[in-house]
Amino acid sequence: MYQEKLKQFENVENLAGKAWEHAVAIDVLSNTSIKDCSIYCFHYQQMLELFFKHLLETKSQFGSYSNTHKLQKLLEEVIANTGFRTDKSQYLMALQVITVCTEEYRYNFLIDCEGYHQSVIICNFLLDELLGFEGYNDHLA
């Protein structure tokens, strides 16, 4: 599902290509019997982080992004530095949950899988908006 959403970046050697690689990992993991959702969360967070940074690199005035791994901060940067507009209030908490889950994955803590899955449902809408923004700008060029 995710690799298809990011298909236009398949094997592209930039941040969006790396986001696609994490999308592939999510899809591959979905076909395993792994019960621990933390590894899915890690790849989902990486996919979003790299896609945010791709947009900041390609769509912002200075082509730069911060070193943060906090998805909610990266969304704020994308809104502030590109032409992307959305109602960020509907996404900030879900992005924070995914960021926290990923931090807990890195330190081998158990994560709230139900909260993570609910946040993914919300963030998938944001991902679709971001992909639309990316494609829309390509048609204007």
| Domains in the chain, number | 1
pTM of the predicted structure, to 2 decimals: 0.90
pLDDT tens-digit map of 26-71: 999 999 998 788 889 999 999 999 999 999 999 999 899 999 999 9
**Residue 22 predicted with pLDDT over 90:** yes
Find the domain containing 9 and state its range.
Answer: 2-140
Contact 20, 6 (CB under 8 A): yes
Round to whole Å and give the CA distance between 89 and 32.
34
Q: What is the CATH number of the domain that holds 45?
A: 1.20.120
Q: What is the pLDDT of residue 108?
A: 67
Interval 90-102 mean pLDDT: 92
Neighbours of 105 (CB within 10 A): 21
